[in-house]
Structure 1
Amino acid sequence: MNTTISNSKLKASIKHSGAELFSLKNNQDKEFIWEGNPDFWGKHSPVLFPIVGTLKNNTYTIHEKEYQLSRHGFARDMEFELIAKTDNSASFSLKSNEETLKKYPFNFELQLIYTLEETSLEIAYKVINKGETQIPFSIGAHPAIALPENFENYAFEFEKEEILRYNLLENDLISNKTEILAAKENLVPLNYKLFENDALVFKTLQSNFLTILENSKPYVKVEFEDFPSLGIWTKDQAPFVCIEPWFGYSDTADNSGDLFKKEGIIILDVHQTFHSKFSITIL
């Protein structure tokens, strides 16, 4: 099942499977979300929960008991319930169940709330601790912005001038090796060579948003003020780029496996609710 919301400027469509945004069109019917061609990447904008990235050996421990979780967690592959709907907003919920408890032994509710305002789509996350113990988790976004023109016609413009230091991935894990993304006056021209070693992982950034430029003109802005980390990724020759606001990231090679001690993890107290949001604005 799918749900569509709209206003006078935009129309967004969300799958109930994974509560995944798969279409964002302006009132000229131009599509801004990647189509999901599996020849490149068969997703559009999955939610990453209860982990972001890859665990060492796809394994973690809670109180010395081992559990397995695949890359980016399970929420993106599960059916969400539509719990509220207006013309311009829709809210989805995933609750812990017998299936999730085998992989992740915590009682939770994850909500995604999509809201259209003018030319922006806001995507809000709520994680509710429904149990009697603290919950360790990461959460992240993975929207793929469609780039219909030649990839090298695009550039990033970061909000602030800063040293754009990112960590390299090795075997899907975060390494201690870093490089600096070359920028001139906040601008980074795009080319596929930037991504030859997989995603660019920025553990911290001063910028709260970046703008994708198409032929030097503003195209799409992604705002991520609530999120401390950011991933940027594409595949070779793919006509999209993913701008990924994150809480947390892949394990390091020397990670202990204890999820409560994982770098970048959030610890949510009993009966508390975590809130975060980001937005995609069509320019």
Structure 2
Amino acid sequence: MLVKLENEYLTVLLNTKGAELSSVKNNKTSHEYIWQADANFWGRHAPVLFPIVGRLKDDFYYLDGKKYSMGQHGFARDNDFNIIDQDTNHITFELTENDETLAMYPYEFSLQITYILKAEELKVEYNIRNDDSKEMYYAIGAHPAFNLTESIDNYSIKINNGGKYNHIPLNNSLSDFNDIDELDANVPLRLSREFFKDDAQIIDTNGNDQTSFSLFNEKSDFRVNVNAYNCKYAGIWSTYPKDGSFVCIEPWWGIADNTNHNHEIKNKTGINALMPSKNSEYRLDIQFL
């Protein structure tokens, strides 16, 4: 089911399936900022990644000696959320455990996702609570895909913090920490189809309190800013070799398994741990200009 947030500047559509951001339109120009999920290229808009980000090695993990299987990016994106609070400018969705999730992730939990529309900005807040009696391991990430109206070659992404970052390549969808190189963010990253020939471009954010990205086209007024708070990693992704007219900017509080990971979720790079009855909050802001 689609639900709507709206103000003078933007109309936002969100889907109860996956609590997924599905559309952001400029009310004056009718410009659509979000990729419209053409399955010939990639059939999603902006999935929420939980309770893992990326892929598990061999698609399984061990917890307390027991084996659990889970697909890439986890299950939140494919589950129906309940709406627990809503008005014209904000909405809060909630997902809790069910028989299907317990079979792959043995925790009682609450994942609340709140979207707040303020002028030309959409604020996204994630609240994760451990409702179980044991320590809970998890990751969470955002995966918004931004619509491109021209060739990808006309767009660039600037990491507004500047500096240099560890670039973490993927090897069969796993993080290859044995082959890290350096990404220079002192100049904008010029996008092209070839930029994605080795899959997503992933950086370690150096522990920044805030990491800010700008997607822009030098020949137009188009710009999207993504400001993520305390994210550990970030990915930039589009299709290759298919010419999908979108690019994703993905703040992550977690990352795909290392190529030499031993399957123990407790030892997973980037994993977060939450004690019983505790909660953790994460957020990002997206400005549509």
TM-score range, shorter chain: over 0.9
State the match for 1:163 in structure 2.
Answer: 164
Distance 1:76 1:161 in 2: 32
Q: Which runs of no fewer than 5 residues in structure 2 stay unpaired?
A: none
Between 250-259 and 212-221, the greater mean CA deviation after superposition: 212-221
**AA of the residue aligned to 1:242:** C
Q: Aligned partners of 1:89 and 1:226: how far apart in 2?
A: 23
C-alpha RMSD of matched pairs (Å): 1.3
Distance 2:34 2:95 in 1: 23
- Determine which of 179, 182, 194 is the counterpart of 1:180: 182
Question: For 1:230-241, what aligned pairs fall within 5 Å after superposition?
Answer: 230-236=234-240, 237-241=243-247
Contact 1:204–1:230 under 8 Å retained in 2: yes
Distance 1:86 1:10 in 2: 15
Matched, 1:215 2:221: no
The corresponding residue for 1:258 is 264
Runs of 4 or more above 4 Å deviation: none
Letter in 2 for 1:188: L
The residue aligned with 1:5 is 5
Which residue number corresponds to residue 149 of structure 2? 148
C-alpha distance in 2, partners of 1:187/1:201? 15
Give CA deviations for 1:33-75 in whole Å, capped at 9, x if unaligned. 0010001100000000000000011010110100000000011
User: Any residues of structure 2 matched to 1:40-79 within 5 Å, and which?
Assistant: 40-79=41-80
Task: Determine helix, strand or coil for the equivalent of 1:105.
Answer: coil
Distance 1:129 1:72 in 2: 19
SS in 1 for 2:88: coil
Deviation of 1:182 after TM superposition, in Å, equals 5.0
Question: Partner of 1:132 in structure 2?
Answer: 133
- Secondary structure of the equivalent of 1:164? strand
Identical pairs, percent:
34
Contact 2:159/2:214 (8 A) holds in 1? yes
TM-score (norm 1): 0.96
Q: Which amino acid aligns with 1:234?
A: S
**AA partner of residue 62 (structure 1):** L
Report how many residues are paired. Answer: 282
Query: What amino acid is the match of 2:122?
Result: L
In the alignment, what sits opposite 1:112? 113
- Per-residue CA deviations over 1:70-120 (Å, capped at 9, x if unaligned) read 000011000111111111111101001111111100110111101101100
Offset of residue 218 of structure 1: 5.5
For 2:48 and 2:171, how far apart are their aligned partners in 1? 23
Deviation at 1:160, TM superposition (A): 2.2
Distance 1:187 1:165 in 2: 16
Q: Which moved more, 1:254-263 or 1:133-142?
A: 254-263
Give the Cα–Cα distance (whole angstroms) in 1 for the partners of residues 89 and 193 of structure 2. Answer: 36
Contact kept? 2:232, 2:270, Cα under 8 Å: no
- For the 8 Å contact 1:165–1:202, the answer to whether it is kept is yes
The secondary structure found in structure 2 opposite 1:177 is coil
Report the AA paired with residue 26 of structure 2. Answer: N
TM-score w.r.t. length of structure 2:
0.94
